[in-house]
Chain A
């Protein structure tokens, strides 16, 4: 089995439009929302969702970025040291509903780290999770509120999300048993 494209640029566009609608439906007041993208690929996804919400509802939603490197539980076992990048949370998260945005939900460990990191900035009213791909294999009791696509996958497969902003192209590809799949 060779590499297979599971989401094309058009699929990604439609998926993000649908997630934006779901976010609007679930959260009545857009002014209390904040989208926070996990570096690296969660950031362009969060910005696209914010742009969609603006188109559909004419409402501006603040977008932040979060680097979870310092909160990872696997720092000691990694072969490399993650290059730190800046976290930016625009404004007080105290009374906000924060929607974390990531490209792939896998073991749930990145999300766990993101929750810890976010809570160090204050006490949001609620935290929700939006992901483009849910590939299963959770190791922690974590689930997403908004899912682009469920991809049942083997641990040995690799799922690669590429976005125009970071990789020059919009597509999601699944690679057969190769190197160990990584969550972003």
Chain B
């Protein structure tokens, strides 16, 4: 009776005697998933389920973070991440202010650290930062007392995206352990793929990476002690075969001028996820993409909007995941 708890609420049963307790939460920042244990990721996904329920209510607002101040500091453009953080904060009744580099004193030359100290002086309990430089959030975390959430830094990490991806996988597949996840595309420039690899391997999934040799980061194909083991398979057909999840990455066109790819046509021929190639995966395989998509390039329009695509669901789940993280960081007693 205490074990069959369904998140969709189809039956009224009691929650399981939690293997993970929120009291064990020890993180003050979310910088990447490399320092998260399986239990901690499980806890975040569990609380995300509760937040999904809040978002399904007629009044999608709870008072948990009343009086908390959350600020976003974005040095790069964003649609999904910034909006979903904003909606997440508002659903929890926190106050949120948004700062975009291009319309702030950053254009006058104010440094990252000075900007952060300004946000701290204005009372930020949580700062959500996106920056083109890898490691900027880690630097930020050393300078302010509040919590820092990494909303994407350079090629390094995008932990909240990886968490919403894992939540989406778990919602469809039940468990993440032993799932075969194939990541296709520009892994070199992809912070999404790095955070996913950390999270997925921690949860026990088997990750295959399929990239053109020029877009494969150094360290992926030769074992590096600190990075989790992934399978490298340059042939897209072999990489997709038998997969439970196919995750396609955006081809970062802004970086393609430098001769990393001979031509777009060749990339489409060799690496585009289309209907025919998707048939090699399991019949119920999920198609994911962190967005924004270049339809017709890394993914065909048919697949992007097909029956196996959960791309829009990923966006929806992003709000609930970010609510769970804000609750864990800013809810409850201050550390």
Contact = CB atoms under 8 A, between A and B. Distances in A.
Q: Which one of A65, A77, A86, A121 has the greatest number of beta carbons of chain B within 10 Å? A: A86
Nearest to B11: A88
Given A120-B61, A121-B59, A79 B333 contact: yes
A120 B328 contact: no
A63 to B, nearest CB: 6
A87 interface: yes
Nearest to B23: A80
Contact of B12 (A70, A88, A122): A88
Interface in B123-175: none
Interface stretch (B45-53, B82-90, B105-113, B207-215): B45-53
Interface in B2-29: 2, 7, 9, 12, 14-15, 18, 20-23, 25
A65 B12 CA distance: 7
Interface string A43-76: 1100100000000000000011101011100011
A71 to B, nearest CB: 6
B63 A70 contact: yes
B171 to A, nearest CB: 14
A83 B59 contact: no
Interface string A126-159: 0000000000000000000000000000000000
Interface in B82-107: 92
A39 B334 contact: no
Main secondary structure of the interface of B (DSSP, over half): loop
Contacts of A77: 333
Interface size band for A? 20 to 34
Interface in A3-54: 39-40, 43-44, 47
B58 A122 contact: yes
Q: Which one of A39, A120, A165, A166 has the greatest number of beta carbons of chain B within 10 Å? A: A120
A138 B297 CA distance: 65
A107 to B, nearest CB: 18
Nearest to A68: B62
A120 B61 CA distance: 8
B64 A166 contact: no
B332 interface: yes
B324 to A, nearest CB: 8
B1 interface: yes
Contacts of A95: none
A70 to B, nearest CB: 4
B328 A81 contact: yes
Contacts of B12: 43, 47, 63-65, 88
A126 B21 CA distance: 35
Contact of A166 (B2, B47, B334): B2
Closest 5 CB pairs of A and B: A80-B23, A84-B50, A70-B62, A88-B9, A81-B22
Interface of A: 39-40, 43-44, 47, 63-65, 67, 69-71, 75-88, 116-117, 120-122, 165-166
